[in-house]
C-alpha cells in the first residue's frame, strides 16, 4: 500500500485532462503536488484553482526537450526536494495514416510518449533508490496492446512505454527495492485529446479514470487496463486466434480499427 499523505507527487501533463484531476485527487489525500506542463496559462489556472487545497507547484516544461527536463528536475530538487511519486502522464497523438506523417510528427510523438517517461524517471530514480522508497506510474494506453489504423506512430510509442515500464518494474523487484512501478493502459478518454473518435466500447470518463489510476497507485498495482477486460480480451484473443480472425474480431466485431475515422483531436 502506497500512502500518499505528506508525499511529494510530480505529474507531467498535470495542468489539463486527467493530469489535472489527479493533481486535485492527490491534494485531497494531503500530498504535495508538482505539475509539469507545456502550457503556462493552464498551469497558472490550475494553481489558482487548487491553491486553497494544499501545496501545489507548477513548472513550464516541454518534455520532448532533454535540457528542459534536466534543468527543471534540478530546480525541483533544489527548491522542493525529492519526489516520492512520479506520474508520467504527458502525451500527444497525431491521428493520420502513416504515409501522411511528417518526420516531425514521428519524432515529436516518440519524444513525448516514449522517451520522456524514461528521461524524466532517470532524473528522479536515484533519489528514490537512495531512500529505498518511491512509486513510478506510467500512463501508457490500450493502444499499446492492439494495432490500430491512423494511430501507427502513437501505438508504436505506447508499445514502447509499456515494455519499458514493466521492465523497470522487474528491475526494481530484482534489486529488492521498495520502489513500485505501475503501468496504466486506458482506452480512449473523453478529454478532448481524442475528439471525434467513435467507439462501440464505451469511451472513458476523465474523473472516474483519474480516480482509478490514483487507487491503483495506492494499491501498488503492477499493470492495469481501463476497463479491466481490455487486457484479457486482447491477450487471449491474440494468443488463440489467427491473425485474420483477430483482425475480424477487433476490426469488424468490436469496430476498433474504424474508431479513428472521424478523429479531429484537440482544437488549436
Q: What's the mean pLDDT in 109-135?
A: 98
Is position 60 within any domain? Answer: yes
Do 97 and 43 touch, CB atoms closer than 8 A? no
User: Has residue 71 been placed in a domain?
Assistant: yes
207 pLDDT more than 60? yes
Structural domain boundaries enclosing 75: 8-258
For the cut 70, the answer to whether the pLDDT of residue 233 exceeds it is yes
Can you give the pLDDT at residue 267? 59
Does a structural domain hold residue 238? yes
Per the domain annotation, does 263 fall within a domain?
no
Strand ranges, E, within the chain: 8-12, 32-37, 56-60, 85-88, 134-139, 179-186, 223-226
Where residue 201 sits, what CATH number does that domain have? 3.40.50.720
Examine residue 83 and state whether it is found in any structural domain, yes or no: yes
169 has pLDDT over 70: yes
Domain count, the chain: 1
Residue 268 has pLDDT above 60, yes or no: no
Give the separation between CA 45 and CA 38, rounded to whole angstroms.
13
Cα separation, 55 vs 62, whole angstroms: 23
Q: Is residue 117 part of a domain?
A: yes
Q: 176 lies in a domain?
A: yes
Least confident of 44-48, 66-70, 163-167, 195-199: 195-199
Percent with pLDDT over 90 in the chain: 90
Query: What is the average per-residue pLDDT within 247-254?
Result: 91
Q: What is the pLDDT of residues 84-103, one digit of tens each?
A: 999 999 999 999 999 999 99
Residue 217 forms part of a structural domain: yes
What is the residue-averaged pLDDT of the chain? 95
Look up cell 484537440; give the residue: 266
CA-based end-to-end distance of the chain: 41
What residues are labeled active site?
154
pLDDT band at 232 (very low <50, low <70, confident <90, very high): confident
Return the SS3 of 101: coil
- The distance of Cα 102 from the centroid of its chain, to the nearest Å, equals 24
Say what the pTM is.
0.95
Contact 25/51 with Cβ under 8 angstroms?
A: no
Amino acid at each position: 500500500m502506497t500512502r500518499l499523505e505528506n508525499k511529494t507527487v510530480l505529474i507531467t501533463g498535470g495542468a489539463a485532462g486527467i493530469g489535472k484531476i489527479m493533481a486535485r485527487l492527490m491534494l485531497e489525500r494531503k500530498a504535495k503536488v508538482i505539475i509539469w506542463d507545456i502550457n503556462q496559462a493552464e498551469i497558472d489556472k490550475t494553481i489558482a484553482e487548487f491553491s486553497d487545497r494544499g501545496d501545489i507547484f507548477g513548472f513550464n516544461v516541454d518534455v520532448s526537450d532533454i535540457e528542459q527536463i534536466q534543468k527543471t528536475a534540478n530546480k525541483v530538487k533544489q527548491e522542493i526536494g525529492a519526489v516520492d511519486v512520479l506520474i508520467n502522464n504527458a502525451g500527444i497523438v497525431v491521428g493520420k495514416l502513416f504515409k501522411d506523417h511528417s518526420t516531425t510528427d514521428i519524432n515529436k510523438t516518440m519524444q513525448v510518449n516514449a522517451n520522456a517517461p524514461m528521461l524524466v524517471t532517470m532524473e528522479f530514480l536515484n533519489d528514490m533508490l537512495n531512500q529505498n522508497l518511491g512509486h513510478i506510474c506510467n500512463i501508457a494506453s490500450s493502444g499499446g496492446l492492439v494495432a490500430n489504423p491512423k494511430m501507427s506512430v502513437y501505438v508504436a510509442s505506447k508499445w514502447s512505454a509499456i515494455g519499458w515500464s514493466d521492465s523497470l518494474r522487474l528491475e526494481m523487484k530484482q534489486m529488492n527495492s521498495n520502489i513500485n512501478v505501475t503501468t496504466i493502459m486506458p482506452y480512449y478518454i473523453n478529454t478532448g485529446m481524442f475528439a471525434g473518435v467513435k467507439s462501440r466500447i464505451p469511451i472513458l470518463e476523465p474523473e472516474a479514470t483519474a480516480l482509478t489510476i490514483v487507487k491503483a497507485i495506492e494499491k501498488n498495482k503492477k499493470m492495469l487496463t481501463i476497463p479491466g477486460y481490455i487486457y484479457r480480451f486482447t491477450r487471449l484473443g491474440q494468443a488463440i486466434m489467427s491473425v485474420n480472425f483477430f483482425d475480424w474480431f477487433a476490426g469488424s466485431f468490436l469496430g476498433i480499427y474504424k474508431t479513428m475515422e472521424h478523429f479531429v483531436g484537440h482544437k488549436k
